Amino acid sequence: MAISGTTHKVGLIGWPVGHSFSPEIHNAAFSYCQLDYVYVPLPVEPDQLGLAVQGLSALGFSGANVTIPHKIAVMEYLDVIDATARLAGAVNTIVVQQGKLIGYNTDARGFITALEQNGFAVQGKRVLLLGAGGAARAVLAGLAGSGVELVVVAARQADQAQQLVELFPTVSVKSVLWSSPAFQQEVGQADFIIQATPIGMYPHCEAMPPLPIAQLKPAAVVCDLIYNPVTTKLLEQSAAAGHPVLSGLSMLVEQAALAFEYWIGQAAPRQTMGQAARKLVLKNSILLTKNK
């Protein structure tokens, strides 16, 4: 659809934003739904963040996504922040509603919905969460209220894992040091492993988190938040050992689909968005390999 003066605008606020998959995923969705919308990258330097966010309404934007490094800092410029975004400690989606800026976190719900859509239920289950960074916190925010039995956060820095645990007083959660014997015990008891570190991400595709797959329960589900590559070494080896697996691509698509639904108010074309994302992962890996 041709861009005109009446085209609705959605932006991606980050610094830098050149490598993001979001513009192509969202523009593919707008095009498929024949919506007069456009999604534009908006590189914003950190010291300009407040001005840029306040300008969204004046410029007639319907909303925006927010990415690294602004997901936390952006919160102080918003009028309303929903409960999940507060728990996640970060906003990745802004909706402009009658001049007010409302902040959401679709990573948190995106992860849980991706699990559900792939037939996995965490209710009453024990989860071992690897990593204690921003993505791990979003996953924990998503797990809060899911009826999960226990979440064990494993990190290489004990204080980092413990800090995360303390942010979730209403969830049954504890921390272990990744290198400790207690970690080895947790591995054998977990129903879900959720890998939330960058270990194994492109171009370091041969890297594996130190997880003894042979010690997992036979039915344990292994999820990796990494989406590039779509199938990490961890997922490849877990699947080979007979475990159900879930790639981070499902979460990537779902967080985008939920943002689309906040802005547009209609069901997102998940299949189209998934196809666009897969194509980008492939294109991106080929480009990076050529440039090595």
Q: Is residue 71 annotated as a catalytic residue, yes or no?
A: yes
* Helix (H) or strand (E) run with residue 167 in it: none
Interface with ligand NAP (CB under 6 A), residue from 101, 112, 122, 132: 132
Interface with ligand NAP (CB under 6 A), residue from 227, 260, 262, 263: 227
- Helix 248-264 to helix 22-32 angle (10° resolution) is 50
Angle ∠(269,52,24) on CA atoms, nearest 5: 25
Size of the site for ligand NAP (CB under 6 A): 23
Q: Residue 160 interacts with ligand NAP (CB under 6 A)?
A: yes
Interface with ligand NAP (CB under 6 A), residue from 252, 268, 273, 276: 252
User: Among 52-60, 167-175, 222-230, 263-271, which window interacts with ligand NAP (CB under 6 A)?
Assistant: 222-230
Token pair 């204690």: residue: 132
Using the minimum distance from each CB to ligand NAP, give the nearer residue, 55 or 134.
134
> Which residues inside 173-202 make contact with ligand NAP, applying CB under 6 A?
196-199, 201
Using the minimum distance from each CB to ligand NAP, give the nearer residue, 191 or 224.
224
Alpha carbon distance 169, 70 (integer Å): 26
Among 173, 87, 176, 103, CA closest to 138 = 87
Q: Are the C-beta atoms of 226 and 94 separated by less than 8 Å?
A: no
Closest distance of CB 254 from ligand NAP, Å: 8
Q: Residue 129 interacts with ligand NAP (CB under 6 A)?
A: no
Closest distance of CB 111 from ligand NAP, Å: 8
Work out the end-to-end distance of the chain between its first and last CA atoms, rounded to an integer number of angstroms.
37
Q: Which of 71, 100, 125, 292 is catalytic?
A: 71
Among 206, 246, 256, CA closest to 20 = 256
Q: Residue 244 interacts with ligand NAP (CB under 6 A)?
A: no
Q: Residue 155 interacts with ligand NAP (CB under 6 A)?
A: yes
Q: Residue 135 interacts with ligand NAP (CB under 6 A)?
A: yes
Q: Could you please report the per-residue DSSP string of 23-92?
A: HHHHHHHHHHTT-SEEEEEEE--GGGHHHHHHHHHHTTEEEEEE-TT-TTGGGGG-SEE-HHHHHHT---
Helices in 176-242 by DSSP H: which ranges? 181-187, 233-240
Q: Residue 89 interacts with ligand NAP (CB under 6 A)?
A: no
User: What positions carry a catalytic annotation?
Assistant: 71
Q: Which residues would be at the binding site for ligand NAP (CB under 6 A)?
A: 107, 131-136, 155-157, 160, 196-199, 201, 225-227, 248, 251-252, 255
